[in-house]
Amino acid sequence: MRLTLPQLYRQLTLPTCWLDENTRPAILPPGVGLMPKRKQTKSYPRAVPVRKQVKLSGVCPDLAGAGVCRTGMAPCKVELLDTPNKSSSDKKEYRVIRLENGLTALLIADVAYPLDKLDQEEKDVVEEEMEVEDEENSEDETGDEEDDDDDDEEDDEEDDDEDGPVKRNVLESTGLKMSAAGLCVHMGSFSDPEDMPGLAHFLEHMVFMGSKKFPEENSFESFIAKHGGYDNASTDTETTVFYFESPRRHFHEGLDRFAQFFISPLMKQEAMQREREAVDSEFQMALPSDENRILQIFGGLAKSAHPMAKFMWGNLASLSPQGMSDTDVHSRLHKFRTRHYTAQAMCLTVQSQHSLDTIQDWVVETFAEVPNNGQAREEFSGMKQPFDTPQFTQLYRVIPVQNEYKIDLTWSLPSTLHLYKVKPLHYLAWILGHEGKGSLVSFLRRKVWGLSLTAGNAGDGFEYNSTYSMFPITITLTKEGYDNIDKVVQAVFSYLDMMKDQGPNERIYKEIQKIEDLDFAFSEEKQPSENVENLCENMQFYPPERYLDGDDLMFSYDPEVISELTMALTREKVNIFLRSKEIAADQLDQTEPWFGTPFSCSQIPSSWTDPNHSKEYTDQFHLPQPNVFIAENTSLCPPDPSFISKHPISLLSDTQGELFYKPDMTFLQPRAYIHYLLRSPMQLQSLTNSCLLDLMVMCLMQNIIEDVYPADLAQLHYAIYACESGLVVKVSGLSDKLANLMEVMVQRLVSFKQDTSKEMFQAVLEQQRKNYHNHTIKAKKLVRDVRLELLQDVYHAPHDKHNTVRQLSLEQVTQFAEQFLGQIYIQGLVQGNMTADQAREVDNMLRTKLKCSPLPADCVTDIRCNGLPDGSWTVRADSLDKGDANTLVTNYYQKGPGTIKEHTVMETIVQWMEEPVFDTLRTQEQLGYAVSMTLRNTYGVLGLSVTVNTQATKFTAEHVEQRIENFFKEFIIEHLTEEEIGEAITSLTKLKLRADVTLEEEVCRNWQEIMSKEYVFNRNEREVAVLAEIGLEDVKSLLLPLLSTRKLSVQVVGSDNPDPAQETIAMDTKETVLKFHVGDQLVGQPNTWKEQLVTHPILFITE
C-alpha cells in the first residue's frame, strides 16, 4: 500500500457509518498514532453524520488588485490575490484576500443552493422559534407563583400533561449546511523553547480559555454546542490549526467569538493547571501507542540542535519546569503567543452559504484587529540534513506494546515541499507500495514472510517539513518473515535495485496523474469543517491559485528529480526499526526519557544489505502493469422520470433476499455505492464459528489483494468485513468500473477454498490471534466488550476469541465458508449513478455466482438485548496491559425497549448535556482528556452512557463513577428548564434538517435501515415531527427515571504504577483471562450474573 504525500497512513478502518451498536465489523489492524488533537465528541443526529480557471464574481467595484472595504470600524485595505483553480464539478465560488494586518483569507461561498431560498428557510425557522418562545413566556408569566410553590408541583404537572407540550410547526428538510472557519498559524512544536517542551501544544489549549470580549472560560464551546456545532484544534511541527463549524444563522457571531482568540485571548494563570492536566492526560493516552513511542526515539536521532529532537507532546513535568513559578510560566506563555501568533503568519479559510461580499465583510470586521508584531516567523528551512548522524544509520530493536512483528526501513531525504508540482515521493510510494503482480508485497506474501506493506511519506509535519522529508517502508511480518528478516531486507533492496535500473516511468506517472485528475474532478464534497481545516493549512504551502489542488494533483513529470530521489534510497543511508515480542528485554540497554521506552542500537548486519544477496530475487519483480480499473466513462445516467420516491425502493424481494435502489438526483456525479450483507445465523451459533468467519475474511483479503489493488489505486473503494449479522461486501467510487470490481470480489468468494494455501492460512491465523490480543489490551476497547458481553444475548468478545482461534484449522475454515455461502439471505443497496437495470444485473451476478439457497424460515439472525435488573451494578476488571495507566469508566443507564419518540427524546437529552458533561468532567474537574456522552441503541433497547478516560495514577474508578453521578444531580437541578430544553430541541431539529453534503451520508442512513431490518428510510423526517411535539415534560418523564432505575457501571482499571518496559514473549501461548474485582456492590462473576438477566424479544424501532 502506498502512502501519498497529502494523506495520513491508510489503514483498514471501521466503516464511516456505524451509528449504533446493532452492527460491528471484525477486529481490524490498529490505526497509526498521530500528533495530539484537542478532541471533543461530535454530535450528530441518526444521519451520519477537468480543471478550469474561474473568474471572480461579486467583487467590489473599487477592488482592482487592492481596495477598501468599509464595515462598522475604520476602513481596512484589502488586497485581492489570485483565485484558486477549481474542478469543473465544484459549484462553490472562491476569493482570496489579504487584510491590511497581513492575514490571508480564502473565502468560499457555497451557492449551489439559491441563497434567497436559504434566507427564507432561516426566516421560517426564526419565526417558528419566536412563536414557541412567546408561548413559553406566556406560560411562564401565568405559572410563576405555582412554580415557586412546592405543594402545587403535582397539580402543575397534571396541568402540563393535560395541555400538552408546546406545539411546533413541522419543518421540512432544507438546503442549509453548516458554515465553518479554519485558521492555521505557521508555527508549531518546532518553536518550543528548549526548557519548556510542549509549549506550542499547551498554547493551543490555552487560547480557547476565554477572551477579553467574551471572558467566560467555556463560552465559545458552550455557544458552539448550544447551536449543534463543533470545534477542534491540532498542533503539528510547523503549523497549528484551529477550526469550528456552526449553523449558517449563528455563523457571524461564531466567527467573531473565534477571532477573539487571536486578538485578545485571556489565558488566565488560574486556568493553566487545568489545561496542563489536559495536555498531560492526552500524553498519558498516547503512551501505549507503539507508533508514538518509536517516533519519539526516532526524533531523538536528529542532531541535538534540530527541533526534531524535542518532546512535542508536553506533559506535567515539561510544562512545570523546575525553578520556574506559575507566574513565570504564565509570562512565558503570553510572550510565546505574542511572538508567534501574529497576523502575517496566519491563514484563514471561511466557508458559508453567503455571498462572497458578505463573507468578506465579516472577515474584515472580525479579523482586521488581529495584531501584527512586525517580526518574520521563525524559520527552520536552513537546518538541512538533520539525520546526517552516525546514530541514524543503525538497527534499533524495540519490544512493542502490541503483539506484532514489524520492520520499518526509513530514509531521511531533503525537503520536497517546493516540488509539489512533481510530487516525486508520491510517485515512489505508488510503485513501492503497489500490491499487484510483480510487486514487493506480493512476493513477500507468496513467501509467507509479510502480510502487508505501507510505503511513502504520510504528509504530516513529522515526516514532511521544511527541513527534510521522511520516506519509510513498513512491513507487517509473519513469524516466518521475522525468522528470515535478513531475506526480507534483501528483497526490499532487490526491488529498489530494479526501480533504479528501470528508471522513472512516464506511463506510470501519467496513469497516476490521470487518476488524481479524475478524483479531483469528481471528488465528493468534504464536510465544511474538514474542508476549512485542510485548506487553511494548504494556504501556508501553496500559492493562491493552487490552494485547492496543490495538495492532490501531479502537474509535471520530471524524471531527473524522480531519479535523484530514487537513487537516494541507498543501503548506506537506511535506518531500521525492528519490533517483536521475541526480542530479549535484557538486551535493550537504552531508554527513551519521555515515554520510557527501552531499546537497543546496533550496526545493521552486513548480510542484510549485501548487494550480492539481493540479486537472488531480481527476477521476481517488475513495475506495475497498466491499470484496467481507471474510469473512462464519466457521464451521468439519464434521469428516470418514473422514479419519484425520495427514498430507496425495493427492486426485488423473495426468500433469497432483497434489493433496494435509488438513483442520485441531488449530487449529479458519476459515483455510486453497492452494499451487500450476506446474512447468516452461523457466526452467532458459537464462539468457534465467530472466529471462523473472522479467519475467512482475513484469508479472503489476502486472496483478493492482487486483483483489487489496481481498483483501489483508481479511487474505487472496497471493504469486506464480518459483522454480527454476517458478511458485508461494499464497493464505491466512480461508477464506470464499479460492477467489475464487485464481480472480482464475488468470484474470489466462490473460489475461496482453491485460493487459500495452508502456509498463508497459518500466517493469517497467527496474525488474527495477535489482532484479538492487540484489541483487548486497549482499555477503551475492553470496557465496551465487557458491557456488550453482558447486554447482548450473543456477543463473542475478542478476549474469548483469542483463546479459541489457535485451535482452528484450514479445513475447518473452508468447510465453514462452504456452509456459510450455501445458505444466506442477501440484502443489497445500489445507490448513485446507476440505472435500475444495472442494479438488477449486479444482484443477478451475485446470486448466479454464489448459487446459494435461502435460509430456513425459522432461522434466527438477530441479536436480543438483556434487560438490567433495577438498581446500580458495577463490574470492574483490571486492564490487561500492566504498563498502561489508562482507566476507562462507562456509566450506562438503561431505558428499555424504545420507540421513535423515545429515541428522539434521548437524542435531545444528549444534545442538551454533552457539552456540559465534557466541560464539567474534563475541563473543570480534569478527570481525563476524553469524556463523552452517547445514546445507546442496543438492538432496540435504548440507554444513555457517559464514558471517561482517566489514569489510575490520578483518580480511582470509584471516584470517576461518583463524579459522573454528581454531575447529573447538580446539572439537572440547575439546568432542566424549558428554555434549555427548547434550545436543545431547536439545535437537534436543525441538525436533522440540514442538507447532506455528500451522497455517502444518505447512503449510510439508508444502509443502516436495511441492515437493522427496520426500513424507516424517512426516520429523520419522523423524528423532526416528534421534535415539534415534545417539550420539557417529555424530557423529565424519561430522564429522571432513567438515571435512577437501572445502571451498569463498567470499569477497566489501569496500572497505578505503570512500567513502560514490555516483557519478552518467546512463544505466544498465554491465554487471556480477565480479572474481575469482588466486593460490596461489585459483580465479581459477570457470566453468572448474566444468566439471571431477562432477555428482551427481538426488537425494531419502527414506531
Which residues belong to the active site? 204
What DSSP assignment string belongs to 218-265?
THHHHHHHHTT-EEEEEE-SS-EEEEEEEEGGGHHHHHHHHHHHHH-B
**CB neighbours of 601 closer than 8 A, spacing ≥ 6?**
391, 394, 395, 396, 590
Backbone angles phi, psi at 139, to 5 degrees: -65, -40
Match 520499518 to its residue by C-alpha cell: 408
Give the position of cell 479459541.
804
In contact, 808 and 695? CB cutoff 8 Å: yes
Query: How far is CA 829 from its chain centroid?
Result: 24
Q: Is 133 exposed, middle or buried (0-12, 13-18, 19+ CB in 10 A)?
A: middle
List of residues 6+ apart from 1096 with CB closer than 8 A: 864, 865, 866, 867, 896, 897, 940, 941
Task: For residue 496, give the nearest of 432, 436, 449, 443 by alpha carbon.
Answer: 432
CB 1027 within 8 A of CB 168: yes
| Dihedral (Cα; 945, 951, 954, 959), 10-degree rounding | 20
Q: Which of 2, 1, 17, 9 lies closest to 728, judged by CA?
A: 17
Distance CA 737, CA 717 (A): 11
Q: Which residues pair with 579 in a beta bridge?
A: 398, 406
Reduced to 3 states (helix: H, G, I; strand: E, B; else coil), residue 98 is: strand
Phi, psi dihedral angles at 1102 (to 5 degrees): -125, -10
The gap from C-alpha 668 to its chain's centroid, in whole angstroms, comes to: 27
From CA 702, how far away is CA 435, in angstroms rounded? Answer: 10
Phi, psi of 514 (to 5 degrees): -65, -40
Q: Name which of 887, 687, 924, 939 is nearest 782 in CA terms.
A: 887
Q: Indicate the angle between helix axes 485-502 and 559-567, nearest 10 degrees.
A: 150
Report the relative pairing of strands 1046-1053 and 871-878 from DSSP bridges.
parallel
Q: Which is nearest to 798 in space by CA: 813, 812, 788?
A: 788
As beta bridge partners, residue 415 has none
Q: Any idea which residue has 510517485 for its cell?
A: 427
Q: Are strands 598-602 and 649-654 parallel, antiparallel or unpaired?
A: unpaired
E strand or H helix at 287, and its extent? none
Q: Which among 165, 99, 112 has a CA at the least distance from the CA of 363?
A: 99
Fill in the DSSP letter of residue 389.
S
Please state the φ and ψ torsions of residue 296, each to the nearest 5 degrees.
-70, -40
**Can you list the positions of beta strands (E) in 607-663?**
649-654, 657-663
Biggest CA-to-CA distance, the chain: 94
Residue 636 gets which letter from DSSP?
P
CA distances from 807 to 28, 480, 756, 1048 (A): 20, 19, 18, 34
Q: What is 330-346 written as a DSSP string?
A: HHHHHHHHHHH--GGGE
Identify the residue whose cell numbers are 465544511: 528
Whether 176 and 247 have beta carbons less than 8 Å apart is answered as yes
Say if CB 243 and CB 182 are below 8 A apart.
yes
Q: Name beta bridge partners: 454.
A: 474
Q: Which residue has the cell 458533561?
A: 917
